Amino acid sequence: MEDENQAQERVYHFKDRVMLHNASINITHLGVRYRSLEALDNVSCVIKPGRLTGIYGPNGAGKSTLMKAMLGLVDSSGTVLYQGKPLTEQLEKVAYVPQRSAIDWTYPATVWDVVMMGRVKKTGWLRSFSGVSRQIAKSALQRVGILEYRDRAIGQLSGGQQQRVFLARALAQEAEIFCLDEPFVGIDQKTQTVLFEVFHELAAAGKTVLVVNHDLGETTTHFDDIILLNRQIIAAGLRKQVMTEQNLYRAYGGKVMYFSDAA
């Protein structure tokens, strides 16, 4: 019997398909177990570059787990390929901003320290402090509008400012793939605007931008593609095709009222 994998391989025979396939992140049969809990079950989807992709689903749906599994931060079964090779072998191409609640804000680092850490990941300790690196870190802080806070301790910043620091660090990394987990939680409207501006710029530059969210709201309309998750993939693809009442009901149950913007 021919399974999905074999069918895909057959398709990749054609050269143009290979090109198309290679540029994306291909997740195939991804599964994660935490002891007796099956957090992700048989998740397969494609995440395309040059587009803004949102992962939506209720609390406990496995959104953070999906991102962590992609980056090899939790044990998983299945495969995650980027440009045809395991993503975990190319983590230098990834900038990851975890959920704010997962970061230790008492850690005694300044805004500048945190952004320079992005350069360490990119170049290693010795080269990270070059003039070029400092200029890149400075531009990143400027881009998110918090250069004047460069000497502040990160613990003293507001939620929105903290989120901007981590976005600046991600930018300083000069990554190809940007993964952010619930960046809109506990931030101000201005920060949300800056975040979406930067995401759109990155996508326009051909980067892959993947953002986890749980609240269905106006943020959904910014995304080109949406992955609707509840332990399994409920639907994935073009926003307008995914955000139907039926799919949302299957993902969230009766817990939310949402009026689909699908035409």
Ligand X SMILES: Nc1ncnc2c1ncn2[C@@H]1O[C@H](COP(=O)(O)OP(=O)(O)O)[C@@H](O)[C@H]1O
Binding site for Mg ion (CB under 5 A): 64
Considering beta carbons, is residue 115 or 195 the nearer one to Mg ion? 195
User: Which residue stretch of 57-65, 137-145, 183-191, 248-256 sits at the interface with ligand X (rule: CB under 6 A)?
Assistant: 57-65
Side chain identity at residue 40, one-letter code = L
Q: Which of 54, 62, 98, 118 binds ligand X (CB under 6 A)?
A: 62
CA distance 223 to 240: 10
Considering beta carbons, is residue 45 or 66 the nearer one to Mg ion? 66
Closest CA to 67 of 58, 78, 52, 80: 80
Q: Which of 60, 84, 206, 217 binds ligand X (CB under 6 A)?
A: 60
Binding partner selected for residue 54 from ligand X, Mg ion, none, CB under the kind-specific 5 to 8 Å limit:
none
Binding partner selected for residue 39 from ligand X, Mg ion, none, CB under the kind-specific 5 to 8 Å limit:
ligand X
User: Which residue stretch of 11-19, 62-70, 124-132, 157-165 sits at the interface with ligand X (rule: CB under 6 A)?
Assistant: 62-70
Minimal distance in Å, beta carbon 258 to ligand X?
17
Q: Which of 45, 61, 146, 194 binds ligand X (CB under 6 A)?
A: 61
C-beta of residue 31 within 8 angstroms of C-beta of residue 187: no
- CB count, 10 Å around CB of 140? 25
CA distance 243 to 10: 31
User: Which residue stretch of 33-41, 155-163, 199-207, 238-246 sits at the interface with ligand X (rule: CB under 6 A)?
Assistant: 33-41
Minimal distance in Å, beta carbon 224 to Mg ion?
22
User: Helix (H, G, I), strand (E, B), or coil: what is residue 227?
Assistant: strand
Which helix H or strand E contains 160, and what residues bound it? helix 159-172
CA distance 150 to 207: 26
Task: Compute, in degrees rounded to 10, the torsion defined by CA atoms 134, 137, 141, 147.
Answer: -20
User: What are φ and ψ of residue 99, in 5° steps?
Assistant: -55, 140
Minimal distance in Å, beta carbon 117 to Mg ion?
22
Binding partner selected for residue 173 from ligand X, Mg ion, none, CB under the kind-specific 5 to 8 Å limit:
none
Contact status: 177 vs ligand X (CB under 6 A)? no
Cα distance between the two ends of the chain: 38
Q: Which of 18, 37, 204, 262 binds ligand X (CB under 6 A)?
A: 37
Contacts to ligand X by CB under 6 A: 34, 37, 39, 57, 59-65
